[in-house]
Amino acid sequence: MILRKEYGFEAAHFIYNHPGKCRNLHGHSYKLFVCLEGTVNPETGMIIDFDDLSKVVVEKVIKRLDHHFLNDLIPLSTAENISVWIWEQLKPELPELCQIEVFETTDNCVIYRGA
């Protein structure tokens, strides 16, 4: 079974080698979907409690990215590289992590399933 939870964060960045307007400083209202795959614990009826998941995601990712300049953490801050960075922050504490989705805009998304 796959569990999926949505998060959001606001952040600014620029893509230094982009040939178009994304080379300039700008911001996005990012959406992040975190997916865990596992079996349901028969005692709790859950793969993981949503609150426990959120504690990890907020501490490891949202607090570090929300209202920050992404290039400080991810120099080439494309959606692809942001998704890899997020995966690396979460996977050690969430071994059931199977997929993350990073929406830079409502119609532009990267899906990452690990290396």
Domain map (residue ranges) of the chain = 2-112
What was the pLDDT predicted at 86?
Answer: 98
**pLDDT digits over 17-44, tens only?**
999 999 999 999 999 999 999 999 999 9
Asked if the 2-112 domain carries CATH number 3.30.479.10, the reply is yes
Q: Encoding tokens for residue 49? A: 């409690």
**Catalytic sites, residue numbers:** 22, 67, 104
What pTM did the predictor assign? 0.96
Q: Encoding tokens for residue 30? A: 């990012």
**pLDDT digits over 57-91, tens only?**
999 999 999 999 999 999 999 999 999 999 999 99
- Tell me the C-alpha distance between 17 and 76, whole Å: 8
Cβ distance 86 to 100 under 8 Å?
yes
